[in-house]
Amino acid sequence: MNFYIVIPAHNEEDFIAQTLESLSKQTHLPKALIVVNDNSSDSTEKIIKSYADKFSWIKYLNIQSGNEHLPGSKIVNAFYKGLEQLDDNYDVICKFDADLIFPTNYLERLSKLFDSNSKLGMASGFCYINKNSSWVLENLTNKDHIRGALKAYRKDCFLQIGKLKASMGWDTVDELLAKYNKWEICTDESLHVKHLKPTGKSYNKASKYLQGEAMFKLRYGFWITLISALKLAYKKGSFRLFWHYVSGYLKAKSNKSSYLVNKEEGKFIRDLRWKGIWEKII
């Protein structure tokens, strides 16, 4: 299968070389890889260029956006800038972060998963972080959720869900819309990806309410938002975040923010969320 990879990068000099090195050693090499260097002020471009000079399938693009690291829109907009530089001769499109180390069989394993199941729309491994000198699962979400750091989409699924939404929550709505459109999702526990920079480390204070705003835009409704906010705040070890999430939801509702999904999709999402909640309770 032809894998195309887009990697948004902003001031990633400490990590990007390890990411590109791991991808250059894949047993199933990507057909094309582009790094979108988004307004970096460090040596990120120099490092990317050294790999682009070495491998013909690696390219890079310099763009200028704001320095503010808001989750969602900045990353997705950078992704689209990279996607515009690629043709459409891919079977799988990947959006990877610039701070990951992939096992050498990562793309080969994903290729086998997609080949063996024509209804598989998305697939990934799991992120592990360094904690007390040991690599442990970055346990922020359910194991059936694909982290935004390492998304891989079958082309037909990617197009059917309308590609990616430039908003906080993009890495949840993509899966929900995939399920709405009858696609399957697979997370392979055998694929351990080292995540060198923990999720959210560089998010600024202005982003703290965006998670709740995303829950509103996904049409969760108040009670699912309340439960989801409590669960996420607990996993991140901060009750203050619970209040931030709920406040973000209420603020978005008050401002009548635009939804990311239509009413029918929203009902499907709520039914799916309630099903998951009741299954855990029972």
CA contacts within 13 A on the Cβ side of 178 = 28
By the 8 A CB rule, do 94 and 148 touch?
A: no
- Nearest CA to 104 among 123, 122, 120, 125? 125
Written in H, E and C, the secondary structure of 110-176 is HHHHHHHCCCEEEEEEEEEEEECCEEEECCCCCCCCCCCCEEEEEHHHHHHCCCCCCCCCHHHHHHH
- Nearest CA to 183 among 161, 152, 150? 161
pLDDT digits (tens, 9 = 90+) for 9-61: 999 999 999 999 999 999 999 999 999 999 999 999 999 999 999 999 999 99
- For 77, the 3-state DSSP assignment is helix
Written in H, E and C, the secondary structure of 241-266 is HHHHHHHHHHHHHHCCCCCCCCHHHH
pLDDT value at position 138?
Answer: 87
pLDDT value at position 238?
Answer: 82
By the 8 A CB rule, do 103 and 188 touch?
A: no
Q: How far is CA 83 from the centre of its chain?
A: 15
Total-model pTM? 0.88
Spans of the chain below 50 pLDDT: 202-204
What are the domain boundaries of the chain? Answer: 3-195, 208-281
pLDDT value at position 276?
Answer: 87
Question: Which CATH architecture fits 3-195?
Answer: Alpha-Beta Complex (3.90)
By the 8 A CB rule, do 217 and 265 touch?
A: no
Where residue 90 falls (left for φ over 0; alpha for ψ -120 to 50; beta otherwise) is beta
